Amino acid sequence: MNGRRLAECAAFTLAVGLLIVVTDGAVAAQRDGQVGARDARAVATGTGVIAGVVVSAGDPSSPVRRASVLLASGQVAVPRTAVTDDQGRFAFVGLPDGNYTLAARKAAWVSAVYGARSASDSQGIPIAVANGQRIDGLRLPIARGAVVAGTVRLASGQPAQDVAVHVLKIRTVDGRRQLSTTAAPAQTDDLGRYRVFGLATGEYVVQARSQASLVRSRVTRQVTASEVRWGEELLAQAQSVSGVPADALQVPPPGSAVTYSTVYFPGTTFASDSSVVSLRAGEERLNVDFSLSLVPTAQISGTVVGPDGAPFLGAAIMLTPEDGGVSDVLSLMIRGGRSASGRDGTFSITGVTPGRYTVTARGTPRAPDAMIRLTPAAPANAEMVAALSMLGGMLGGANTATLWASEPIAVNGDDLPSLTLVLRDGLTFEGRVVLERGLDGGPEGGNDVPPNVTTLRITLAEPQSGDPIMAMMGRTLGMGTMAATPGEDGAFVVKGLVPGQYAISVGGRPMRVGLPGMPDAASGFVVKSIRWNDQDLADTGVTVQASGAVVDVVVTLTPEPSELGGMVLDASGRPTGAFPIVVFSDNRAFWTPGSRRVKQVQPASDGRFLVVGLPGGDYYLAAVTRLEPGDLENRQFLEDLIPAGLRITVGDGEKKTQDVKLAGGR
């Protein structure tokens, strides 16, 4: 393995690892539904007990042995884990009081959360435990997963070995089909066979992608029949004394550069044309067989030029498919990471499959020079520069690359040999962060700045649409995301913006900023408003124009966020934790993805719920039987809730109590 391959592997696994964390983080944040969680998670021990048994779902059910049980809450940083015994039993002791989420998982089974109403319900019912309380006899049912198995072949009919087969779940969000990974992919064996297990009930598409197409820097050419004929004639000549000279033979064109495209069952390269595989609980679907196909690939090469017109070393170059294919974007991003130019600023990306793309280059001013000095002997370590930038970008939650260039291209199998990407200085978004009481006439420059302001991150993120995996990857890699940390005086400058529409978030955790549905929380403060020219950008986001910077933005934090709390009571007046609560603005203009005026919360088993940080305004409050991921971004879903909704008004900073009584029905 040489350095190049290592870099690719490291960057790829790294990205995937981070992807997982961020995904989990998003879910966790939604569940926490509260701010300042970090402080509350200081180590605590108590005397509470949660115990129960994991059983197989269905009737009759039987104990499930050797299942892992995870217990999580805002009170413990690392989830506690246990393994069930031969009778399916588990127990957690020494718990401080709090609300706990309990989940069971076992290989080949479908993980389930306690109180889940459906297989896709990842929230379930949190269990409220008071100190000293013993909650025993919990039943946590889990179901055996369904199986998809089959054989993947090469175009020639031979078995395709070491091909990754993903079974992707279909979700429909706001009328659009999205694909997401829910089970670990399988590798085909030497007979081309694969077996993906542990799948939940639902609709899926099955995707095969050759490992070769993932991390590949060599071009592969298909040998043609005319080449073989030509070669055989050459041989015959070389062996005969009186043959015609080689020059007399017509030299055939070389075979085209090819790669194995990603293929969806039953044999299409487009996810939209794939067959839907519907799986029932525990079903074993065999003979899901299909073949890989060879597609022509092109090489894209060119030069990156800095704002000063000089060749630029160490820009990270990324290819983004316009239609946002689920998978190919991964490999192309990695390729982008390593394609960044020698000293002459040239770059080259091989193996690009047909389609429309945007080529984006991002560069960090000056950093490459420092890196070059590091290893004078090396001819060009642009890849290392790019890798470092990427690693740093991921950790910091944003890129340090403030130079950018972007170019749309169409690829049809022919090489694009001479692209020129001219880096331009990015635009800025500037302003200051203040605490609300400072605005109310407090001493200027005194405590109007939040005490821990330098731990905040102001993040601008381009809207991430289309495929959720791609969107998550983009965010994880800091693509389309720029951030800044305020100084001691609260002033901040977000640099490197490309013209376009951005969502703004303010957070204390760089790894987590910019995720939809996350509270804009910073150690106990919430964002009250982001004012600019009489607009509140916290609701609308900001449109950065090529004509100039956005300046004099005032981000106002409040130490006293509003709280909307209460209890959910069933038809007979008993508290129930079985129904998620949705709170959403009565103004449809605020029904945008990630809106701070559209929230969900899961009541605990004692029926209590709390929504923190709603801006002042009029809302609907509704309890629903179940909530699927993406429901809150579905306008029709909210529209349907209005008739059953409870109309309430929440004032800025108000602590409001509103119980919800269920009358049956929704």
Partner 1 sequence: MRMTVGKLAGLVVVWATAVGWVLGSAETGMVAGAGLQRGAGPGGGQAAGRGRGQATPGPGVIVGRVVDADTGAAVAEAEVTLAARADVATAPSANLLTAADGRFVAREVPVGNIQVTVTAPGYLRGSHGQSRPAGPSRPIQVTDKNSVIEATIRLWKSAVVSGMVTDEANEPAIDITVRALRQSFANGRPLYAAVGRGRTDDRGIYRIAGLAPGDYIVAVPQRLATVPTATMNSMIEGVMDAQGLPPGAMDLAASGMLASGGTGVQVGEHMVNSVSGASPVLSGDGRMAAYLTQYFPAAGTPEMATVLMLGSGETRAGIDIRMPLASSVTIRGAVIGPEGPMANVPVRLVAAATTDDQGTLSEVAGATTAADGSFAMYGVPVGAYVAKVLRIPRQPLPAALASNPQLQALLGGRGGGPASASDSLTLFAEVPVSAERDVADVVITLSAGATVAGRLEFVGGAAPVTLTGMNVTMTSVDGGTARVGNPFSAARVDADGQFKTAGYPPGRYVMAAAGRAPGWFLKSMMVNGVNALERPFQLEAQDIGNVVVTFGDRQTTVSGTVVSSIGAPTEGSVVVFPAAYKEWITQGMVPRLMRNISTQPDGNFSIAGLLARDYLIVALADEDVPDVQNPSVFDALARAATAVTLTDGDTRNVSLKLKAVVR
Least distance between partner 1 and beta carbon 516 (Å): 18
For partner 1, give the closer residue by CB, 90 or 609. Answer: 90
Name the minimum Å distance from CB 245 to partner 1: 12
- Minimum CB distance to partner 1, residue 70 (Å): 6
CB 232 within 8 A of CB 223: no
Token pair belonging to 71: 């217990």
**Beta-carbon neighbour count of residue 43 at 10 Å?**
8
Residue 159 DSSP one-character state? B
Q: How many CB atoms lie within 10 A of CB 631?
A: 18
Q: How far apart are the first and last CA of the chain?
A: 59
Task: State which residue, 396 or 499, has the beta carbon closest to partner 1.
Answer: 396
Q: Which amino acid is located at 328 in the chain? A: D
Residue closer to partner 1, measured from CB, 391 or 410: 391
277 SS3 class: strand
In the complex with partner 1, the residue whose CB is nearer, 494 or 641, is 494
The smaller minimum CB distance to partner 1, of residues 252 and 355, is found at 252
Q: In sequence order, what are the beta bridge partners of 656?
A: 564
* Other CB atoms within 10 A of residue 91 CB: 15
The DSSP bridge partners found for residue 117 are none
Asked whether 584 and 463 are in contact (CB, 8 A), the reply is: no
Give the shortest CB-663-to-partner 1 separation in angstroms: 33
Q: Return the H-helix or E-strand segment holding 163.
A: strand 163-173
Residue ranges of alpha helices (H) inside 397-513 are: 436-439, 468-476
* Least Cβ distance, residue 191 to partner 1 (angstroms): 8
Q: Which is nearer to partner 1, 132 or 254 (CB)?
A: 254
Which of 70/610 has CB closer to partner 1?
A: 70
**Cα 462 vs. chain centroid, distance in angstroms?**
14
- Give me the least distance between CB of 277 and partner 1, in Å please: 17
The contacts of residue 386 (CB under 8 Å, 6+ apart) are 314, 315, 316, 337, 338, 339, 340
Specify the residue, 65 or 134, whose C-beta has the smaller distance to partner 1. Answer: 65
Q: Which of the 8 DSSP states describes residue 157?
A: S
Closest to 34 measured CA to CA, from 617, 562, 397, 461? 562
C-alpha closest to that of 628 among 23, 32, 118: 118
Shortest distance, position 497 Cβ to partner 1, whole Å: 20
Report the residue number, 19 or 611, with the smaller CB distance to partner 1. 19
CB of 566 to partner 1, least distance (A): 25
Least distance from C-beta 322 to partner 1, angstroms? 24
